[in-house]
Amino acid sequence: MIADSDDEPTWSEPTAAASRCPDCGRPFTTEERRLLHRGLEHPDRLTAREREAYATVAAAERGAHRRYVLGALIVFVVTYFGFLFAYAIVA
């Protein structure tokens, strides 16, 4: 565990048995991350219920990724045109 200057923990390795991959033993901070790992790395070992849960979590993750990329694109375009207009005004 790493401690902050205020002696508040900022990171610790997951200790719950559910947060470890049962196939390779890799630790995860959330159950969703473990499920995504198992769906990508060990798809042949998933049960029908886990496959369904993986599909749900993967769809949510794709939506979050799409929103992030769209936000990054908007920031890039606004910054680009901001500099373009500033250059046009100054030059």
Q: What is the pLDDT of residues 27-73, one digit of tens each?
A: 989 889 999 999 999 999 989 999 999 999 999 999 999 999 999 99
Token pair recorded at residue 77: 């375009």
With 0.95 as the threshold, say if the pTM is over it. Answer: no
What ranges in the chain are assigned the alpha helix state H?
31-41, 48-90
For residue 35, how many other CB atoms are within 10 A of its CB?
Answer: 19
Q: Read off the DSSP letter of residue 68.
A: H
